[in-house]
């Protein structure tokens, strides 16, 4: 029987046998670009989701921001590290609360608290502060007409005005309006008590904070103007800083900053750094034998140590109550008044970092990611050199970011999108290991 040679199947003209060498599945350049584009889209969607969540809830203290700020802590500490260790140089804190106010003075008894605030402001005026910033907002109908506490508060403001001491009082954006779908061009403010003494030393500013607490809001262009103004209202921190340093916008990193620019990043001081400059509110008034047991201190009556903490400084008055106005920051849990003092310190100390355009973050992120992919492709058979080069890439990126901040004052963030893209690449390698890739290639 004739035994012929079994002919091989004919190969179509132009068909090339595609076989991958054993080893790591190495993506094509087009796959690298597609993966990075997906990472950009996910990063943008995450940022929009975060801002929408905070805006709709009107809060910065929620589970979402806790996780985001927790992840951002290390990166923020890196970019805000500086050879010059900042300390509270401009502000002092007067703290109201259960452990720092006299008995009977509480946020739960607002009208009585206004009586105490009036005495407190007169005591502070005797120590000649530079500016007084009240991190509180006074409801229009909280106390009845003719309330003695409101009268005392207004009279104390007049005393400060006669001494030409600027006072900044808070206004709050209407939370219900922020939670609803936006139909108005400007968010309304909650109704507030009119505090208009004869002089113009009292001004209003927004107490709300920016959703990303690493950034200090300067103006609120999406909010209706405050009293006696037609311009976008300033934040509490900016109003206080301008009152302390009227030429602040003419020099330094704030020079030329306008309301339409994004808010700058700041390097936050930690809670412990403010403790030597914190004054319990009961220590800033004098005792009295008659009810309610305290009164305003006259000239020379205030404790000399307390007077030194107040004289010539920006005094921030705030409330510290458990579970109320607390914020998760990259330096830990912090009450709202201390966060405002932090922003004031950064503005007056010129510790501001300009955010770069998002395109710059994405381009720099792509460069870092492309370098990572090159290391993976180049050293896919030699893991030790690959790990070493990856560490060199990480260190070089950290050094570049640090120099961008310290030398040029720009907050460069290539990490988010590049790490997300790299994570997607690593997941692809795990889901499609080399053996599966080679099998797919052979079939």
d(CA 124, CA 119): 9
Residues 310 and 267 in one domain: yes
Single pTM value for the model? 0.77
Peptide bond into 135 cis (omega under 30): no
Identify whether 23 is part of a domain. Answer: no
Identify whether 126 is part of a domain. Answer: yes
Residues 99 and 144 in one domain: yes
Assign 52 a pLDDT band (cuts: 50, 70, 90): low
Residues 396 and 313 in one domain: no
d(CA 314, CA 83): 25
DSSP string, 71-103: HHHHHHHHHT--SS----SSEEEEEESTTTS-T
Assign 235 a pLDDT band (cuts: 50, 70, 90): very high
Residues 418 and 333 in one domain: no
Residues 390 and 323 in one domain: no
Assign 437 a pLDDT band (cuts: 50, 70, 90): very low
Question: 3-class DSSP state for residue 318?
Answer: strand
Residues 102 and 212 in one domain: yes
Mean pLDDT of 134-160: 88
- Is pLDDT at 59 greater than 80 in this prediction? no
Share of the chain above pLDDT 70, in %: 70
Question: 3-class DSSP state for residue 330?
Answer: coil
User: For 205, phi and psi rounded to 5 degrees?
Assistant: -155, 165
Q: Each residue of 242-277: pLDDT tens digit?
A: 999 999 998 888 888 888 888 998 888 889 999 999
Residues 285 and 365 in one domain: no
By DSSP bridging, strand 278-280 and strand 91-96 are parallel
- Is pLDDT at 75 greater than 60 in this prediction? yes
Structure-block tokens of residue 110 = 């607002």
Identify whether 82 is part of a domain. Answer: no
DSSP state of 255: T
Residues 177 and 314 in one domain: yes
* Interior/surface letters 90-125, b for 16+ CB within 10 angstroms, e for the rest: bbbbbbbbeebbbeebbeeebebbbbbbbbbbbbbb
Q: Each residue of 194-224: pLDDT tens digit?
A: 887 666 789 999 999 988 888 899 999 888 8
Residues 346 and 361 in one domain: no
Strands, E, within 156-276: which ranges?
167-171, 202-206, 265-266
Structure-block tokens of residue 92 = 């002092």
Mean pLDDT of 281-303: 90
What distances in angstroms separate CA 298 from CA 88, 125, 154, 156, one per listed residue?
27, 9, 18, 13
Q: Which of 352, 386, 410 is the last residue of a domain?
A: 352
Question: 3-class DSSP state for residue 430?
Answer: helix
Greatest mean pLDDT among 172-176, 232-236, 264-268 lies in: 232-236
Of residues 203, 265, 269, 277, the one with CA closest to residue 233: 203
Q: Each residue of 299-357: pLDDT tens digit?
A: 888 999 999 999 999 999 999 887 778 887 778 888 999 999 999 999 999 888 888 88
Report CA torsion sign: 368, 373, 376, 377. Answer: negative
The residue with greater pLDDT, 18 or 84, is 84
* Residue 392 near residue 386, CB atoms below 8 Å: no
Assign 91 a pLDDT band (cuts: 50, 70, 90): very high
Q: Which domain holds residue 136?
A: 91-352
What distances in angstroms separate CA 276 from CA 21, 128, 271, 280, one per listed residue?
66, 19, 10, 11
Mean pLDDT of 182-193: 79
The residue with greater pLDDT, 143 or 433, is 143
Report CA torsion sign: 253, 257, 261, 262. Answer: positive
Q: Which of 300, 319, 352 is the last residue of a domain?
A: 352
Q: Which of 324, 352, 380 is the last residue of a domain?
A: 352
First to last CA, the chain: 36
92 forms bridges with which residues in the sheet?
315
């Amino acid at each position: 029987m004739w035994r012929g040679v079994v002919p091989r199947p004919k190969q179509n003209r132009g068909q090339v046998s595609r076989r991958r060498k054993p080893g790591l599945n190495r993506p094509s350049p087009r796959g690298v670009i597609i993966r990075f584009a997906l990472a950009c889209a996910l990063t943008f969607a995450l940022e929009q989701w975060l801002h929408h969540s905070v805006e709709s809830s009107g809060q910065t203290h929620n589970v979402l921001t806790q996780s985001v700020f927790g992840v951002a802590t290390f990166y923020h500490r890196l970019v805000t590290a500086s050879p010059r260790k900042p300390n509270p140089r401009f502000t002092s804190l007067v703290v109201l609360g259960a452990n720092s106010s006299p008995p009977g003075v509480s946020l739960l008894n607002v009208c009585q608290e206004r009586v105490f605030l009036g005495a407190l402001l007169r005591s502070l005026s005797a120590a000649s502060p530079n500016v007084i910033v009240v991190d509180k907002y006074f409801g229009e109908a909280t106390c009845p007409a003719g309330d003695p506490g409101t009268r005392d508060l207004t009279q104390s403001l007049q005393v400060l005005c006669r001494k030409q001491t600027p006072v900044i009082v808070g206004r709050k954006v209407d939370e219900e309006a922020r939670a609803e779908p936006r139909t108005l061009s400007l968010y309304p403010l909650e109704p507030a008590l009119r505090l208009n003494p004869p002089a113009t030393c009292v001004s209003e500013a927004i107490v709300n904070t920016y959703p990303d607490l690493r950034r200090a809001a300067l103006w609120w262009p999406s909010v209706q103007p405050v009293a006696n103004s037609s311009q976008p209202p300033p934040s509490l921190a900016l109003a206080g800083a301008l009152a302390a340093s009227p030429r602040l916008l003419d020099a330094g990193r704030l020079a030329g900053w306008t309301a339409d620019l994004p808010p700058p990043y700041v390097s936050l001081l930690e809670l412990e750094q403010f403790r030597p400059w914190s004054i319990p509110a009961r220590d800033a008034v004098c005792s009295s034998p008659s009810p309610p047991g305290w009164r305003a201190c006259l000239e020379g009556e205030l404790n000399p140590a307390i007077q030194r903490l107040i004289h010539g400084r920006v005094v921030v008055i705030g409330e510290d109550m458990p579970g109320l106005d607390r914020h998760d920051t990259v330096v830990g849990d912090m009450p709202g008044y201390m966060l405002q003092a932090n922003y004031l310190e950064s503005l007056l100390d010129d510790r501001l970092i300009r955010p770069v355009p998002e395109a710059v973050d994405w381009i720099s992120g792509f460069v870092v990611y492309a370098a990572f992919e090159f290391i993976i492709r180049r050293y896919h058979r030699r893991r030790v050199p690959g790990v070493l080069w990856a560490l060199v890439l990480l260190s070089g990126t950290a050094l570049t970011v640090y120099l961008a901040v310290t030398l040029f004052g720009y907050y460069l963030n290539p990490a988010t999108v590049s790490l997300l893209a790299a994570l997607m690449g690593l997941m692809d390698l795990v889901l499609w290991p080399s053996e599966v890739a080679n099998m797919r290639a052979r079939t």
